[in-house]
Structure 1
Amino acid sequence: MSPTAEPRRNASGLARDIELLELLGGSEAMQNNGLGVLRIAQLSGRDKAVVSRTLATLADAGLLERDDATLSYRLGPRLFALAARTTESRLVAEARSYLRRIAQSTRETTHLCVLRGGNVLTILSELSPHEFRTTGWEGVTTAAWRTPSGRVLLSDWDTASLERWYAEHGTDLPIVGPADPIMAASGFSVLSAPPEDKAVVTDFESLVAELARIRARGYALLDEELEHGVVGASAPVRDLTGRIIAAVNVSAPKGRIGDRLEALGRYVAAAAAELSGRLGAP
């Protein structure tokens, strides 16, 4: 080989490794919580000893994990972590144009929110073209139980997970993370507690009931519960597995929305579903 020649790539070996990963991501492996070495060798048509060594190497790298009881292999945590980072990068890239379009259509401020540390982080905002408008919350963390986005993000959780979350976060302050000083000058004041006649979540039972309503209609609403004079609507964004990974939110002065809040909710749900489709959601 010439000293300047490029090293030869082991493409065929990598392709064989990928084939095993795809088998463990298939329906049979999902239904059986993994596959054994013999079954993987049968499906791939490869030597059992070679398959066993390859699976062990992939497990050492964290791409697979082995069940000590059944000796079956399944996809590992490192693979899911890589997929999660890829999904969020694509989410942000895809969401920018959708948020811009929603803000232009509704003429109201639009946000993309995710769960971080049990509460809601706004990662993107597109401001309303109106001079009098709600502010961008980009980079701000808010209590999930106080916001429609937070409730949307929790709406596909099981009861046991919700109970653990509520025990830790059910009384969090409305603003958990740093707030931009511009927000304080916007004319809308964040309330330390929701008004009694506006409060949607007051205990764990009311949270569960609200999450059931969100699942039934496909969106969540806010009516001056977090800020005086502000209403909003949020809807879920799902990934290719159907899991909720983000929420699209539109917030607006109540005087401008009037009795059109439910219609806003339906519009936001349709836009969020379209974004979900772009991310491969069923």
Structure 2
Amino acid sequence: MNDALRNDEPGRRGRGLRRDVELLEALASDEARRSGGLGVARIARMTGREKSQVSRSLRALAEEQLVERDADSLLYRLGWRLFSLVARGLDTRLTTTAEPVMRRLAVQTEETVHLCVLRDDAVLTVRTVSGHSFRTSGWEGRRAPLACTSAGRVLLADATPDELYVRFGTVENLVPDHPGSRVRTVPQLWQAVREAAERGWAETRDELEPDLSGLAAPVRDYRGRVMAALTISGPTSRIGDRLGSLGRETAGAARAVSAELGWPPGPARSS
């Protein structure tokens, strides 16, 4: 390789990367989402490139599982590996972004603050922050039911009634091991989820276990989708009369985290 070609190697790699990014952006467009993917000819028109070049680039991206091609329609769409990378990046950014906000909220409220996410059919606590070591009760890594927790009702905010039925079926009692829960059926859960969305946070009192109250507010990603919940829980005897004020403070903290993640700041939005 002569010196001129060697010196231009970084520039050629950079141009190739930009062209690949253009293809990924086309596949992330509203048109691609509406139609379930795009064909080579349409992508070529959108990016102003030759079809043969686009086809070669897409095949290379497909080999790395960054895009995939439907065997029937022959349309390309974003691949599972790309979504996996984004999800892992968001999880890391979520905890990094949320922790300082959680610490401020813990100081403001003098309560323990949890960061919870949806994992399968349960609420998973991924981070706990408290200014009082005696109030930290080993919640990190603990799973809890969706139906009878404030975090669960927030994390289900984007679900439709049909999606709730798919997730829970038509069982008569969603939480048989929690007799204090006011939510037993899918319609009752849907009502509780909508109440939380309208208020801006969810509240529970003695539903998960006796003398335990909690509240949760949604953390949204750059699309506005709920990706986590900031929660406060404690003995009903201590926080039961403060759920409204704690809810407002927690909702404000959750909006601050959401803004850092790219969701425009402002009043809580219902889905």
- TM-score with structure 2 length normalisation? 0.86
Residue type of the partner of 1:19? E
What are the ranges of 5 or more consecutive residues in structure 2 without an aligned counterpart? 265-271
Aligned counterpart in structure 1 of residue 19 of structure 2, from 16, 37, 49:
16
Task: Give the 3 Å change call, closer, same or farther, for CA 39–130 of structure 1 in structure 2.
Answer: closer
Question: Could you say which residue in structure 2 is the equivalent of 1:249?
Answer: 231
Q: CA deviation at 1:139?
A: 1.2
The answer to whether the 8 Å contact 1:146/1:201 transfers is yes
Q: Distance in 2 between matches of 1:150 and 1:7?
A: 54
What are the ranges of 5 or more consecutive residues in structure 1 without an aligned counterpart? 174-191
Aligned counterpart in structure 1 of residue 130 of structure 2, from 104, 127, 137:
127
Residue type of the partner of 2:137? T
Residue type of the partner of 1:201? V
Aligned counterpart in structure 1 of residue 178 of structure 2, from 190, 193, 197:
193
- The 3-state SS of whatever aligns with 1:281 is coil
Compare 255-264 and 151-160 and name the one that shifted more: 255-264
Aligned Cα root-mean-square deviation (Å): 2.5
Q: Distance in 2 between matches of 1:253 and 1:134?
A: 12
The answer to whether the 8 Å contact 1:127/1:135 transfers is no
Residue type of the partner of 1:249? T
Question: Could you say which residue in structure 2 is the equivalent of 1:35?
Answer: 38
Question: Could you say which residue in structure 2 is the equivalent of 1:228?
Answer: 210
Q: CA deviation at 1:238?
A: 1.1
Task: Give the 3 Å change call, closer, same or farther, for CA 12–93 of structure 1 in structure 2.
Answer: same
Compare 26-35 and 9-18 and name the one that shifted more: 26-35
Question: Could you say which residue in structure 2 is the equivalent of 1:271?
Answer: 253
- TM-score with structure 1 length normalisation? 0.82
Q: CA deviation at 1:29?
A: 2.6
Aligned counterpart in structure 2 of residue 108 of structure 1, from 103, 108, 111:
111
Q: CA deviation at 1:90?
A: 0.3
Q: Does 1:205 align with 2:187?
A: yes
Aligned counterpart in structure 1 of residue 69 of structure 2, from 62, 66, 69:
66
Q: CA deviation at 1:171?
A: 4.1
Q: Distance in 1 between matches of 2:257 and 2:73?
A: 40
- The 3-state SS of whatever aligns with 1:280 is coil
The answer to whether the 8 Å contact 2:102/2:253 transfers is no
Which has the larger helix fraction?
2
The answer to whether the 8 Å contact 1:119/1:141 transfers is yes
- The 3-state SS of whatever aligns with 2:147 is helix
Q: Does 1:118 align with 2:121?
A: yes
Question: Could you say which residue in structure 2 is the equivalent of 1:48?
Answer: 51
Q: Distance in 2 between matches of 1:119 and 1:7?
A: 53
The answer to whether the 8 Å contact 1:218/1:269 transfers is yes
CA offsets 1:69-123 (integer angstroms, 9 cap, x no match): 4432221221111111110010011111111111111100110011122101111
> How many residues get paired?
258
The answer to whether the 8 Å contact 2:158/2:225 transfers is yes
